[in-house]
Amino acid sequence: MDEADVRDRLRAVEDPDLGDDVVSLGLVNAVEVDGDTVRISLALGAPYSPAETDIGRRIREVLAEDGLEVDLTAKVPTDRDPDEEVLPGVKNIIAVASGKGGVGKSTVAVNLAAGLSKLGARVGLFDADIYGPNVPRMVAAEEAPQATQDQTIVPPEKYGMKLMSMAFLVGDDDPVIWRGPMVHQLLTQLVEDVEWGSLDYLVLDLPPGTGDTQLSILQTLPLTGAVIVTTPQNVALDDANKGLRMFGKHDTNVLGIVENMSTFRCPDCGNRHDIFGAGGGREFAASNDLPFLGALPLDPAVREGGDGGKPIVLEDDDETADAFRVMTENIADMVGIVQRRSVSER
């Protein structure tokens, strides 16, 4: 069997999201046949995405029918010059945003990053909320960043995640009072001077709103996509719509909508109560033709995990943790769709 035969066999493997086979979509970078071993490079861009893992499993099954052992690698080809990229070692940058405060955006960002890390991915978590950084508390990160002789910053790690936050650089009670140009300069420094290394995902916890920080991020970093967090109530949805329009104006992919605090299950009676309304996030996603990434319950355990420094997504055998894990997997799948579509459309 030669390369042409292998590619012909791979036409039986369909990408369920893009609706065609992996060869026709241009997702097979290279094939090398060495006896009974086939080395295949695939244009898959979302490590540990369940959907992309399934594509890899299907490829192995198809070729196993011919007695072949498969060695898979994944790389999304790019025309960009690595020397000109801002973060060449980072495969995907995901911004977590909201139109207003108080909807649990940081909770979603922290649990997304921790959930991706738990899946096995190499993850960085950048707390880009200059004025109200709280990620270090939410992961109980007590170790401060270290500086190298070259004046670069080595980020501390927790739960397998590399961390960077303004909270590491100012006192607990020190207010941050800076204007736009200063914010842009600081964000640029925190991104470019940090030794992020090789990451599958860098999760950005953006401040609420559509101000200077968001604009600086959009101008500085090549975002793979953005996740918009809202609660079901109309007031939050109105502001979420502003965030959606902001990303649209800057041609940034919106991966989908997360509805936080969607329902509350009473621990005493077991009944469910829609404290902030019901279904608003799902309806908002549908009306804007966006994926609905998950509904996260209003659960005191989420707050306890944030205050105690252990994201709830890390808990086992927990219904709320399962909801965060589903959200994490859905977001990873959407990242994969964005990356694979970019290859197929070239």
- Residue 134 vs residues 107, 138, 166, 186, 302: alpha-carbon distances, Å: 10, 7, 9, 17, 15
Sorted by sequence, the CB contacts under 8 Å of residue 268 that are 6+ apart come out as none
CB 249 within 8 A of CB 219: no
The two beta strands, 37-42 and 28-34, are: antiparallel
* CA–CA dist 251, 283 (Å, integer): 23
CB 229 within 8 A of CB 140: no
Looking from the CA of 11 toward its CB, the CA atoms found within 13 Å total 6
Report the binding-site residues: 99-106
* CA–CA dist 27, 22 (Å, integer): 5
Phi, psi of 6 (to 5 degrees): -65, -45
CB 87 within 8 A of CB 203: no
Report the binding-site residues for ATP: 99-106
